[in-house]
Amino acid sequence: MPLLFNSLSHREVVFGFFNVETDLLLLENHFIFATDFCTHVSELAACKPLEPCTTAWAMYVLDRAQMGNLMGAIRGFDGSGFIGEIYRLFPFPKEPDAFKQNADGHRTHALIRSVIEQYQKPRQVSVEVDARGETLRIGDFLFSRPQFHELLHYVWLGGYPRWMDNVRPTYVLDMVGRMEMSSHPIFADLKPFI
């Protein structure tokens, strides 16, 4: 489930997986597949140290009304909006042990795209890392280095409730390997990924 994270620009922002059967991440009203998020973070890891790094990520940016009601969808009484449609396809697990993030969530991409693109097409969202690696900006959202690291740890863990059987997808393992080898200061002082 998405959690609240601190940011420099918006105080607290919602970030994370919102359904255990898809790897789609949300950042407030911005959506990106975790496979793409991890690929983009890996690309940031290749940036030259002490130089700014500017790129753009394809993200789905929905109006609040288009998103729907996450808690209502989880509880099964509000099927409105994009999130409601996803919960009709993949209802909240009835068994507590089934409430784990599916490492094969990337297999639902085609289906999830067909649903979300009824609301919005992906758009390019600017992403900037300052030369000293002190901040990362995703569109209007500005994060300090430690705040960005918290987002990375969330993905590493599989959010809440964690990856099923603690099996992480290859794309997450690849991202962490590239971050740990990076010389860009945005990845300095990274907590160990264990």
| Structure-derived torsion over alpha carbons of residues 7, 49, 25, 177, reported in degrees to the nearest 10 | -130
As a whole number of angstroms, the distance between CA 186 and CA 135 comes to 7
Q: Identify whether 165 is part of a domain.
A: yes
pLDDT at 38 over 70: yes
- The predicted pLDDT at position 156 comes to 96
As a whole number of angstroms, the distance between CA 52 and CA 21 comes to 36
pLDDT at 194 over 70: no
Beta bridge partners of residue 163, listed in sequence order? 101
pLDDT tens, position by position, 157-169: 999 899 999 999 9
Provide the domain count of the chain. 1
Q: Identify whether 30 is part of a domain.
A: yes
- The predicted pLDDT at position 127 comes to 98
Q: Identify whether 89 is part of a domain.
A: yes
- The predicted pLDDT at position 191 comes to 82
Q: Identify whether 193 is part of a domain.
A: no
pLDDT tens, position by position, 80-129: 999 999 999 999 998 888 899 999 999 999 999 999 999 999 999 999 99
- The predicted pLDDT at position 78 comes to 87
pLDDT at 53 over 80: yes
Percent of the chain with pLDDT over 90: 89
Q: Identify whether 192 is part of a domain.
A: no
Mean pLDDT of 1-28: 97
Q: Identify whether 105 is part of a domain.
A: yes
The answer to which of 6-15, 91-100, 104-113, 185-194 has the lowest mean pLDDT is: 185-194
In the sheet where 3-7 sits, what is the strand order? 3-7, 11-17, 24-27, 30-33, 53-61, 123-129, 135-138, 141-144
Instruction: Note the pTM of the prediction, 2 decimals.
Output: 0.95
Q: Which domain holds residue 54?
A: 3-187
- The predicted pLDDT at position 98 comes to 86
Specify the DSSP class assigned to residue 10: T
